[in-house]
A = this chain, B = another copy of it.
Amino acid sequence: MGESLNGLKRTIMCGEIREKHIGDRVVVMGWVQRKRNLGGLVFIDLRDREGILQVVFGEEINKDAFNKADLAKSEYCIAVSGNLVKRESPNPNMPTGMVELKGEEIKILSESETPPIYIKENLDAAESIRLKYRYLDLRRPDMQRIFKIRHKTTKIIRDFMDGEDFLEMETPILTKSTPEGARDYLVPSRNYNGKFYALPQSPQLFKQLLMVSGYDKYFQIAKCFRDEDLRANRQPEFTQVDMEMSFVEENDVIELNERLIKRVFKEMADVEVKLPIERMTWKTAMEKYGSDKPDLRFGMEINDISEEVKASDFKVFKSALEDGGSVRAVKASNSADMPRKKIDKLGEFVKTYKAKGLAWIALKEDGIKSPIAKFLKEEELKAIIDKVQGKTGDLILIVADKNSVVFQALGALRLELAKELEILKDNKEFRFVWITEFPLLSYNEEEGRFQAEHHPFTMPMDEDIQYLESDPGRVRAKAYDIVLNGEELGGGSVRIHDTALQEKMFKVLGFTKESAWERFSFLLEAFKFGPPPHAGLAYGLDRLIMFLAGTENIKDVITFPKNQNAFCPLTEAPNVVDENQLCELGIRFENNKE
């Protein structure tokens, strides 16, 4: 059974009704959140996108309506007409709590079976069932709040970019593999059997082409695709706020984006982001925080104690230093009494980052306790404590290894300690930092060659270009990431627009002229025709929305997400297709494959 509207028009949303509307005759429509029959009165909490309104039906108000209302159950979709009156027992916890609607007419627009999940905030249901019944999960007010945030945020971004004379331009989804290096999703071609389109991992090449085309300022809120094994906060398709500008340098991109960030966080979170946002070189970030996305909401910085222990005979320190590594420490305040078991667990933790072990020094009330004390001279111990400004009650945690391991282990340990010590509990801060001067290249030990850290079109810093061939690992890039509370929100770079430099770069990356051409042909070809200096940046929109909505689950900010196996429990995609479709594509499947 489903009644028609038959010309009945909604006059107001449930959630918009306030005391000032008392006396108004209204028509509202929505879903039955709850129905109670209390001695001759039927109360319905009626829910729409904007909120919940109490509706009361009684025999003395309208008997037919009363009887029909009593048929309604949870999640029935109904329309009600009547007068708004002052509520007899007001509920100050609800925005509409001063008012109730006396229901004179009701239409049952559609019925509902008992939903398999509760339509309420903070639902504690299994993800599989939430995704299978996503349309019910999306009815929950906290999910509706998130998608309002998402809509409003993209609107603000678009308004801002439009105001800055950027043109929003669409780039192709059916295209050729882009050189991001992750695995592409492929689309078999019917016209050219055996050939494939690739879904874009980003609009990188196209946005650079648009700069070559003179569009000057481009942006797009773009779908991107990566066929990677999914981790907690990854989805096969995700959304980027993507931009590119011509005739600019690093500072121009940063300055524009600071204004964008300020506006978004002001309007969406009522937070004043102070400009300019702090900048930190990659080197400093690694040395002080062991991470290129440092969380600056707390200190607990890493200290280099190599100098202090350089004369030590302690084998672990000695061999690390001899191998060109370092000895570094973080200090946890008021943690000297941490139980041995917990410290051992931290030791296991750093081993997952390839550290050989974790040394510690506890500055207890009753003196220093440390399993390594016996290996150190007293002045060495003192020097370490001085270097980290240790005082009674502190726990000093030390890793000695090659630098990359030390940074990674202590960077992770620092975050783990913050969690353990609840340092960030109730912290509402949004702490931004630009990380700059990234290494241009990193050495791939497996392949025995340098590879681009960002992508092969990233411009080296002017003063480092001289080392490009002689000492590639030393070259820093004109690349920048914007980091928020320890997460990368976005990143970008100045691009190479000089053909000679680009060719040198390819050479360093081990491309022959032919192989570079094969892979990037059309971009290289385009660069023959007066490419402008250009630079850009891209944000992960999903992550930005997660911050603004206060959720740590990317699935909460995507309407119809996939699960960890890139499967959609709602639509059951991917699925089998008709044999004749495969036939048209000329595709067969291996028999020996699952």
Q: A residues bordering B, Cβ < 8 Å?
A: 1-2, 4-7, 9-10, 13, 29-32, 47-49, 75-77, 79, 109-113, 115, 134-136, 138-139, 144, 147-148, 150-151, 154-155, 158, 162, 167-177, 183-199, 206, 209-210, 212-216, 223, 225, 227, 236-237, 239, 246-249, 252, 462, 497-501, 521-522, 526-533, 558-560, 562, 565-568, 570-577, 581, 584-590, 593-594
Instruction: Pick the most buried of A10, A75, A135, A249: most chain B CB atoms within 10 A of its CB.
Output: A135
Distance (whole angstroms) from the CB of A160 to the closest CB of chain B = 12
| C-alpha spacing A223/B4, complex, angstroms | 33
Distance (whole angstroms) from the CB of A345 to the closest CB of chain B = 34
Copies in the complex: 2
Q: Are B247 and A533 in contact (CB under 8 A)?
A: no
Q: Are B186 and A577 in contact (CB under 8 A)?
A: yes
Query: A214-B48, A236-B174 given as contacts; is B196 within 8 A of A577 (CB)?
Result: yes
CB-defined contacts of A13 to chain B, threshold 8 Å: 216
Distance (whole angstroms) from the CB of A329 to the closest CB of chain B = 41
CB-defined contacts of A237 to chain B, threshold 8 Å: 172-174
| C-alpha spacing A23/B576, complex, angstroms | 70
Q: Are A214 and B30 in contact (CB under 8 A)?
A: yes
Q: Are B189 and A574 in contact (CB under 8 A)?
A: yes
| C-alpha spacing A145/B168, complex, angstroms | 13
CB-defined contacts of A169 to chain B, threshold 8 Å: 147, 150-151, 559
- Chain B residue at minimal CB-CB distance from A114: B529
Other than A135-B212, A136-B213, A210-B559, give 7 A-B pairs with Cβ distance below 8 A.
A5-B248, A5-B533, A109-B532, A176-B571, A184-B577, A197-B574, A586-B589
CB-defined contacts of A199 to chain B, threshold 8 Å: 173, 187
- Chain B residue at minimal CB-CB distance from A577: B196
- Chain B residue at minimal CB-CB distance from A527: B110
- Chain B residue at minimal CB-CB distance from A31: B530
Distance (whole angstroms) from the CB of A21 to the closest CB of chain B = 18
Query: A225-B174, A497-B109 given as contacts; is B188 within 8 A of A188 (CB)?
Result: yes
Q: Are B49 and A581 in contact (CB under 8 A)?
A: no
Instruction: Pick the most buried of A29, A134, A154, A172: most chain B CB atoms within 10 A of its CB.
Output: A172
CB-defined contacts of A191 to chain B, threshold 8 Å: 565-567, 574
Q: Are A168 and B154 in contact (CB under 8 A)?
A: yes
- Chain B residue at minimal CB-CB distance from A209: B135
Query: A167-B151, A187-B199, A216-B49 given as contacts; is B575 within 8 A of A79 (CB)?
Result: no
CB-defined contacts of A206 to chain B, threshold 8 Å: 559-560
- Chain B residue at minimal CB-CB distance from A190: B227
CB-defined contacts of A7 to chain B, threshold 8 Å: 249
Q: Are A174 and B573 in contact (CB under 8 A)?
A: yes
CB-defined contacts of A31 to chain B, threshold 8 Å: 214, 530
Query: A528-B112, A530-B110 given as contacts; is B193 within 8 A of A185 (CB)?
Result: no
Distance (whole angstroms) from the CB of A402 to the closest CB of chain B = 33
Instruction: Pick the most buried of A49, A186, A532, A574: most chain B CB atoms within 10 A of its CB.
Output: A574
CB-defined contacts of A49 to chain B, threshold 8 Å: 214-216
CB-defined contacts of A197 to chain B, threshold 8 Å: 185, 573-574
CB-defined contacts of A586 to chain B, threshold 8 Å: 589-590, 593
